[in-house]
Amino acid sequence: MSQHLRLPFPAILAIRPLRRRLAAALRACGLWFSRHRERQYLAEMDARMLRDIGADRFTAAQEARKWWWQA
């Protein structure tokens, strides 16, 4: 006994934008998590590692203090 959910035609069209918004929200969360993780790594780097990437201690600390949503 299989029952299928039959949505009216306009309701079916409304699902696609919802999926796009959800996908965009998930991408944003992934980006925020990546920023947070990279800033943690930056805060843990020593002077030699910072020199290798062309940054100084002040700039690294300034970047590491940013919130995860800040670019």
**pLDDT tens per residue across span 5-57:** 665 666 656 667 888 889 999 999 999 999 999 999 999 999 999 999 999 99
Whether residue 7 lies inside any domain: the answer is no
Whether residue 51 lies inside any domain: the answer is yes
Whether residue 38 lies inside any domain: the answer is yes
Cβ atoms of residues 64 and 42 within 8 Å: yes
Whether residue 25 lies inside any domain: the answer is no
Q: What's the total number of domains in the chain?
A: 1
Cβ atoms of residues 5 and 38 within 8 Å: no
Structure confidence at residue 65 (pLDDT) = 94
Whether residue 37 lies inside any domain: the answer is yes
* CA-based torsion, 30, 32, 37, 38: positive or negative: positive
What letter would DSSP give residue 53? T
What pTM value is reported for the model? Answer: 0.67
* Cα 43 to Cα 13: distance, rounded to the nearest angstrom: 46
Whether residue 24 lies inside any domain: the answer is no
Domain membership of residue 45 as a residue range = 30-71
Whether residue 19 lies inside any domain: the answer is no
Whether residue 18 lies inside any domain: the answer is no
Can you give the length of the chain in residues?
Answer: 71
Q: Between 45 and 1, whose confidence is greater?
A: 45
- The DSSP result for 3-23, as a single string, is ------HHHHHHHHHHHHHHH
